[in-house]
Amino acid sequence: MVHAFSRPRPAPGPQVVAPDADRARPRRPAGGQDTRTRTALVTGASSGIGAAVARRLGGEDGWRLVLTGRDPVRLRRVADDTSATAFAADLTLPGADRQLADFALATAGPVDLLVAGAGVGWAGEFLDMPPHTIDEVLDVNVLATLRLVRLVLPGMVAAGSGRVVLIGSLAGSVAVRDEAVYSAAKAAIGAFADSLRYELRGTGVGVTHVVPGVVDTPFFERRGTPYRRSRPRPVPPERVADAVHGAVVRGRDEVYVPSWLRLPCRVRGTAPGLYRRLAARFG
């Protein structure tokens, strides 16, 4: 199913495409074992990391997927590939988060796993950044994510189980030149993950912060500036999706992709002055 949420218009309402009955039916593991089907809600699923996560989870039994993204055409393709139900929406619009949460509950049941993969960036000097773009980067990367977490979290706490996966960025851990607002937004996500994890201790609900470096996705095309550095080399989004899956299975709090990215973060934490000098020279 692909359902669309958009700004009110005088034209007819959003188109609803009914899914194939077999595709919408919850899947069971082979052998007929009656294991409860878990519901995963993935944002930013029309491309990039979100789409890769959807495909990774869709390749396993036991997950019922609800996907959302701003591009209905691409979202439909991912939904078809993963036997998922999809809700096309811009989560920065007023009420879209509530519409999505209600849609997920009505079509798939309580959310057991939220993977917040939606994100946008902008590259250039801060003084050249248009004010409306500042708002967009913060709205998509921070506010929309926090609002959606706030809506699905009570159900997880009531059930005594569940996991929230927040896709961050190395930019949020060490800061990146010419990406001041994006770095700030992803830093906020990292701090939110830590704080929320402390609050949820003992509830059975986990919080995972995934910190990828450069990922080979349309992200750079959309931010308006291609990735030109020789290092670090971009990794495929499927590698991030594998890390997300492993973190969910093992209950990990924080994952770096690739894992060696922990090193610059540790250098910045233990020797911030040295790190800043190196970053100013080589960053």
Query: Which residues are the active-site residues?
Result: 182
Burial class (CB in 10 A: 0-12, 13-18, 19+), 163: buried
Cα distances (angstroms) measured from residue 59 to each of 19, 35, 45, 115, 235: 18, 17, 15, 16, 21
Residue 257 near residue 211, CB atoms below 8 Å? yes
Cα angle: 267, vertex 269, 274; to 5 degrees = 50
Neighbour tally for 19: CB within 10 Å: 17
Helices then strands, counting H and E runs in the chain, come out as 12, 9
